[in-house]
Amino acid sequence: MSDFDPRHQSRHLYDGYDRAPARAMMHAIGFSREDLQKPCILVANTWIETMPCNYHLRRLAEVVKEGIRAAGGTPMEMNTVAISDGVAMGTEGMKASLVSREVIADSIELVGRGHWFDGVVALVGCDKTIPGAALALLRLNVPGLVLYGGSIAPGRLDGKDITIQHVFEAVGAFAAGKIDQRRLEQVEDAACPGAGACGGQYTANTMALGLEFLGLSPVGYNTIPATDPRKEPATREAGRLVMQVLAEGLRPRDVVTRGSLENAIAGVATTGGSTNAVLHLTAMAREAGIPLELADFDRVSKRTPIFASLMPGGEFTAPDLDAAGGTRLVWKRLEDAGLVDGSQRAADGRPWSEHAAEARETTAQRVVAPAGLPFKATGGLVILRGNLAPDGAVVKMAGHERSRHEGPARVFEREEDAMEAVKRNAIRPGDVVVIRYEGPRGGPGMREMLGVTAALVGQGLGDSVALLTDGRFSGATRGLMIGHVAPEAAVGGPIAAVRDGDAIVIDADARSLSVKLSPAELARRMKGWRPPPPRYASGVFAKYAALVSSASEGAVTRALPENARASTLAPLRGANAQRERKGGLRRASAPSARSEPGAAKGRAKSKDERSRRAKTKGRKVSVRGRRVRSR
């Protein structure tokens, strides 16, 4: 029996005679004294009406609260933000996606700390809500769970399953004249039949599986599809489970260890998961205080075969994986091959090996390969380095991508320019499309480039063109596409020196990414390089650009040391000053004498005021009927 106090936090807020005002406020909205004497659980919801991924979470919040109440807790719900990658893709709005990860984490952390919650259940859906919630749990380090709303069901067209990936690729096919408007609309109308996150092993499903392996989500819960009738009973049970882990005092940092992080990397690698997992798992490791480098992803992926044939590199969708046997079956394949540590704890505190023993494989399923007969000998995540990416870059090799490519650079300063070139059919076989100034700071926000990559695939160029960027790629991206190039162009990374026509060499087997330029030529080009002015001089994007780290460090935001603050914020101040000179910004202070005819009169008045104050200093004067001494 644990001696952990399940009200280890909320006692500070609701206990004692001096906390009567706080209790009175809570009585106003229906919470009784008895409710406030129970453990208080924050239900952090990411419901929003801008996408299917999170659309059903409002109902799941009610269900999980039922489970919490039944197990003796008092749930209280909050809502945070969410940005749809699929909807915002290819626009300036996509810059908000990765930024939202930090806002989600910050907002859950703020409510958790401000209201002294004893535990947390986070309901998540679209891509950045999953790692955002996980980061918040690791910061708060109170017992809790992350519950993924589940995958959307696949669409059906011509007797085949399709997903949002097929719509993006249809755009490229339409631009190339391969399909007509009617066919494009058929794909558009069929791809997304209801609530839930994108259906392949894209970023959401990748991170959902990773969080089960990591020990932050209940085993088997995340793979249940969004509209499956099993989802609500499992959600109610998750409400009971959070009360169990609270009673046991099991905290997120107890289950997230170096071993569980490597297990999660193996899970991503064996399912051909999204390269975004590199960013998010690295960020989580930093919140947990655990060293994790890009080299660790490469090492684990290199030894891990691909056992699951999931889109975009494979054949099946996330609901197919659930029907085949789910997360337990994937783990069992890896455990049988000695590639995961079964002693690491799952979200319920039990060793993962116990859950693996409960794996049930559906007869004749084809989603997960038989033991000893993987679809591919090595995992999907490959880390490249070279004179173009001294700090690393990431490429996914989950399908049948060629491992080597050499071709001339086609350089673009932003995603929109590259997309216009694709739509004009201006990209040729053999080209290496370079999209820069799209990194964490330069974007800001490190946009995903699915629109460009899918359009290239749709035009039939997926096997003959490569793309590299200091931005990101969607989990739905396929082909030889290299992202997360670090250092990024905006901070003077070598990618800033590339010019049209330069020969780019990509060699995944050699883990190499380079441009055929001598060190002297690279240095000569960079000598004249100057950072471009920030694209945003105020607001959330400006804050993010000032605080974000490199992609190689997870693109986390962090407090600046005092000595770094001035140099980091100087470009923002310069941009503000430049806009003010151009009339783009108005100062909040009073207008100057040059711009306001009455300014001279104002100055005279100010002078008279100073004289009056000097004369009255030290005297007793009347203020609203009281005699006080003037300052």
Q: Which sequence positions are flagged as catalytic?
A: 474
Counts of helices then strands in the chain (DSSP H, E):
24, 16
The span from the CA of 97 to the CA of 502, in Å, is 32
Q: Are strands 40-45 and 119-124 parallel, antiparallel or unpaired?
A: parallel
Beta carbons of 256 and 215 less than 8 angstroms apart: yes
Which helix (H) or strand (E) segment holds residue 75: the answer is strand 74-79
Q: Give residues with Cβ within 8 angstroms of 258, minimum separation 6.
A: 290, 291, 292
Query: Do residues 555 and 577 touch, judged by C-beta distance below 8 A?
Result: no
Q: What order do you get walking across the sheet with 144-148 strand by strand?
A: 74-79, 40-45, 119-124, 144-148
Does an H or E element contain 318, and which?
helix 318-324
Locate tokens 């893709």: which residue?
A: 89
How does DSSP classify residue 306? B
Task: Please state, as a whole number, how many other Cβ atoms lie within 10 Å of the Cβ of residue 628.
Answer: 10
Those residues with Cβ within 8 angstroms of residue 501's Cβ, 6 or more apart along the chain or in another chain? 408, 409
- End-to-end Cα distance, the chain: 65
Q: DSSP for 181-247, please give it.
A: HHHHHHHHHHS--SSSB-SSSSHHHHHHHHHHHHTSS-TTTTTS-TT-TTHHHHHHHHHHHHHHHHH
DSSP 17-68: GGGHHHHHHHHTTT--HHHHTSPEEEEEE---SS-STTTTHHHHHHHHHHHH
| Residue 251 neighbours by CB under 8 Å, 6+ apart | 141, 142, 143
